[in-house]
Amino acid sequence: MNYEAKLTALGLTLPHPPVSAGAYVPTVRTGNLLFCAGTIAAFNGQQTHVGQVGKEQTIETAKKSAEVCALGTLANIKAAVGSLDQIARIVMVNGFVNAVDGFADSPAVINGASELFLAVFGDAGKHARAAVAVNGLPRGSTTEIQVVVELK
């Protein structure tokens, strides 16, 4: 089963590729690595999760927010290389969680993205990761992720 069919089997759909919100591009390829710019929680241009974990959002809703970020990132990857089947593996995920001061459960939130990558890519979805709480993200998004993938 190819990766896009796997997404469909999981009941997931890719959004339209998110557009850049500043003076940068969504992806940069160097050799067989594709660096993906930060992707916030938006689906087809509409934000899905806004606000801080521990205030407007719970760990569970924020985890869903991170999944939305992962889907947006996959949409940008597909736009850059034509097919998710060009992915050899997910290398690195940097996750940012908009949270109240002292929030210590960022890894539980970013698992929303990590678990999606594992479900779709299996062993090729295993990656290194950082999960960091911050006091604000672009447009008030609950989460943002940056991803590096190895291409075939």
Structural domains in the chain, CATH included, are 26-151 (3.30.1330.40)
What confidence tens digit (pLDDT) does each residue in 24-60 have?
Answer: 999 999 999 999 999 999 999 999 999 999 999 999 9
For residue 76, name the pLDDT band (cuts at 50, 70, 90): very high
Contacts of 8 (CB under 8 A, 6+ apart): none
Predicted local confidence at residue 19, as pLDDT: 87
* SS3 at position 35: strand
Q: How far apart are CA 126 and CA 115, in angstroms?
A: 9
